[in-house]
Amino acid sequence: MYTADSKRYETMQYNRCGASGLKLPIVSLGLWHNFGDTGCYDNMKAMCHTAFDHGITHFDLANNYGPAYGSAERNFGQILKDDFLPYRDELLISTKAGYDMWEGPYGNWGSRKYLIASLDQSLKRLGLEYVDIFYHHRMDPETPLEETMGALDSIVKSGKALYVGLSNYDGPTLKKAAAILNDLKCPFIINQNRYSIFDRTIEENGLKETAHDLKKGIIAFSPLAQGMLTNRYLNGIPADSRIAKDGRFLHESSLTPERLSQIKALNELAGQRGQTLAEMALSWILKDDHVTSVLIGASKPEQILDNIGIIGHTSFSKEELDKIDAIVK
């Protein structure tokens, strides 16, 4: 029987999510990869135990995480049942809907029918009565924004989610959505977006500044650019790397000579800071108060322990930030 470490809250730092009452650990665990039916259940449990034992209270899912779709929620639901139910009120569990989930016209995008049905399915797989945060996973160019936001509001009022969030939105659409949710008095508190030293889209499309102005939190996914911002590819492509084994999310063509040169230069700068490249990349995400938490993925418990090494080391000098900008530009 699992018993959580009694010292789990002693070192983790927690940031308030925008102007809400909710706090997130500065490092959260994403279950996008390695929690589907192709993963090892004992390894999944070990990763969840390691995360919670070190103060990571936030576990992030989506309806289609796997493979197969739904399997990450189902596997995490089993871990909850086996080990974590006594700690449910200490956990922050989020899920999403917005990408392809089931066949037909009602299993995708942002209709009221899809979002409410999807969350009902997610709750069954998780074995829960509610999730802490429910996200709309991506902007829908065809469904009226009022319908999608109204569905999120209905979900909160039904008691099936405590808060709502938006994922993969841009700044202008975020502003419109926030106005609707504010009128509905719906507790919209957080945005989830891709963000890394190599991918600064949320700066370019206005999301980061708009979220800050609206006093909404941001949680950043893919902070290591699918592994490029690590030392994995400094000397070629390892046989056990994501590129070699999968190639769905990171392609060999991404590692151009220019990109490899940037990775090496960033690795040297990280060494000067006394960090690994991965640690510096995660720290960079949290360099200001605009980002609430960084969302990591892991394939083994040791990676989680490595990533929480950034606690207390997220500040940068202006010279360091300027060097990073010069390298990637």
| pLDDT at residue 245 greater than cutoff 60 | no
**pLDDT at site 247:** 56
Cα(47)–Cα(302) distance, rounded to whole angstroms? 8
**Residue 27 β-bridge partners:** 294
Q: What is the pTM of this model?
A: 0.95
The residue with tokens 């000397």 is 235
192-212 average pLDDT score: 98
pLDDT band at 242 (very low <50, low <70, confident <90, very high): low
Q: Could you give the angle at which helices 41-53 and 71-79 cross, rounded to 10 degrees?
A: 60
> In this predicted model, which residue has the larger pLDDT, 33 or 47?
47
Residue 301, preceding peptide bond in cis (omega within 30° of 0): no
Q: Do residues 94 and 83 touch, judged by C-beta distance below 8 A?
A: no
Query: 239-242 — which CB contacts under 8 Å span 24+ positions?
Result: none
Cα(136)–Cα(151) distance, rounded to whole angstroms? 10
Cα(148)–Cα(141) distance, rounded to whole angstroms? 11
| pLDDT at residue 238 greater than cutoff 70 | no
Cα(49)–Cα(43) distance, rounded to whole angstroms? 10
Segment 289-313, tens digit of pLDDT: 999 999 999 999 999 999 999 999 9
Q: Would you list the domain boundaries of the chain?
A: 14-228+279-313
| pLDDT at residue 241 greater than cutoff 80 | no
> In this predicted model, which residue has the larger pLDDT, 244 or 131?
131
**pLDDT at site 6:** 98
pLDDT band at 192 (very low <50, low <70, confident <90, very high): very high
Q: What is the mean pLDDT of the chain?
A: 95
Among 59-68, 159-168, 224-233, 275-284, which stretch is predicted with the lowest mean pLDDT?
224-233
- Residue 294 dihedral angles phi and psi, to the nearest 5°: -110, 130
pLDDT band at 249 (very low <50, low <70, confident <90, very high): low
| pLDDT at residue 255 greater than cutoff 90 | no
| pLDDT at residue 316 greater than cutoff 70 | yes
Question: Which DSSP symbol is given to 55?
Answer: T
| pLDDT at residue 250 greater than cutoff 70 | no
Which runs of E-coded beta strand occur in the chain?
14-16, 23-25, 27-30, 58-60, 92-97, 131-136, 161-167, 188-194, 217-221, 293-296
Residues shown for the chain: 329
With a pLDDT cut of 90, the percent of the chain lying above it is 91
Fold assignment, 14-228+279-313: TIM Barrel (3.20.20)
Segment 273-290, tens digit of pLDDT: 999 999 999 999 999 999
pLDDT band at 235 (very low <50, low <70, confident <90, very high): confident
Among 83-87, 222-226, 232-236, 244-248, which stretch is predicted with the lowest mean pLDDT?
244-248
Cα 272 to the center of its chain, rounded Å: 28
Q: Do residues 280 and 321 touch, judged by C-beta distance below 8 A?
A: no
